[in-house]
A and B are shown apart, each in its own frame.
Chain A
Amino acid sequence: MKKELPEDIQRELSELGSSLPHFKEDPFSDVPEDFFEAFPTRVVKQIKLQDQKKPVRSFVIGLRHWAAMAASLLLLISLGLGFLLTERFSHSEEALADESLLADNWFHWLADIDPAQIYEPFGEGELSPEEILFNAADWEETDPFLSDYLAEVLAYYHLDPDTYFLGESIH
């Protein structure tokens, strides 16, 4: 079925020099019978159906909302704990690094001087080198890790453990 275009559209096409037809086909030719009769009721039914589903959907959305909140909270707590632990750990590491640096400096200094120079000012009969310096045997009892570390450092600087320390455990 053809339908003629309104005059103003026909005139416009003519002004454009267009040879497009001045009629149009019926777009409803293959629409199922009763489609338009049933459609308004069908739409309203669909809307009502969706409205009924809304509370359930709202509950699910609400649930999702709370789950997201809980997850965010857990994440925040985890991040906070992680930050605190990292801080603490880094402080411990810094302290250890400082200790190592001090020990290293001390051994540098020790390697450069003659032990006799250290003990000289104290004079004979006063403090012995062993008393002035450390008692490695005691360290081993109290801090075996440090004792081993000192042994390594002494070896690194080619220092004789017996010159500086007492105790059999340092080699």
Chain B
Amino acid sequence: MKGLSDEQLLSRFRDGDNPDQAFQNIVEKYQRPLYAYLRRLVDEHEDAADLLQEVFIKAWQALEKFRGESGLYTWLYRIATNEALSFLRQKKRRPFLAQHDEETLSPGHVLKADEWVDARRLQQRIKQGIESLPEKQRMVFSLRYYQEMKYEDMARVLDTSEGALKASYHHAVKKIEAFVRQTD
């Protein structure tokens, strides 16, 4: 089943003998990237796992009506984005900032990844910087930097123009850098 295109998976889901199995294959294909995306937005594994499940349940409910205009990949990211936004708005909290503020950086060694002995510290600072961003900008940064998504696809996921997304990403990068410097 591995290596099937989205069209083949959708066709098996709609017309095949075993739609459950076809859907399971869709989940298998997209669970890791979607989990990574959600995890970077909500931080906790339990929250990311719950959201991931909700994303696929929503996808199942809407898949019959899905026309494939935007592509399964961007459509799933779009559902995940909406779920994450709802979650973040409901929670209205920034757990990472509250829980992981104990580490400090050595002066003069910020942002030079190759100079870092403990790269995880820098990654944690970046994570904190991402947490400090507005919700939409956080998503733009995560989709581009972590999910390596093309602007064209991001435009479909976030329903925003490519130009606006590029500007938003550039601002996000600068803000995160400033945050990391500030916390040094």
Contacts and interface: CB of A to CB of B under 8 A. Distances in A.
B57 interface: yes
A2 B111 contact: no
B14 interface: no
A52 B32 CA distance: 28
A116 interface: no
Contacts of B146: 24, 27
A22 B113 contact: yes
Interface residues of B, number: 38
Contacts, number: 85
Interface string A1-43: 0100110010001001011111111011011100110011111
A9 B145 contact: yes
A44 B20 CA distance: 7
B53 A20 contact: no
B48 to A, nearest CB: 9
Contacts of A6: 148
B83 to A, nearest CB: 14
Interface in B111-152: 111-113, 116, 119-120, 122-123, 126, 144-146, 148
Contact of A39 (B27, B113, B144): B27
B159 interface: no
Contact of A19 (B27, B35, B111): B111
Given A20-B173, A21-B113, A21-B122, A42 B53 contact: yes
Interface residues of A, number: 31
Interface string B161-179: 0000000001001101100
A25 B123 contact: yes
Given A27-B35, A28-B32, A44-B20, A21 B57 contact: no
Nearest to B173: A18
A21 B129 CA distance: 13
A79 B57 CA distance: 45
A6 to B, nearest CB: 5
A46 B53 contact: yes
Contact of A24 (B45, B112, B123): B123
Interface of B: 20, 23-25, 27-28, 31-32, 35-36, 39-40, 45, 49, 52-53, 56-57, 60, 110-113, 116, 119-120, 122-123, 126, 144-146, 148, 170, 173-174, 176-177
14 contacts: A9-B145, A19-B177, A20-B126, A20-B173, A21-B116, A21-B119, A27-B146, A39-B31, A39-B52, A40-B25, A42-B53, A43-B27, A44-B20, A48-B20
Interface of A: 2, 5-6, 9, 13, 16, 18-25, 27-28, 30-32, 35-36, 39-44, 46-48, 50
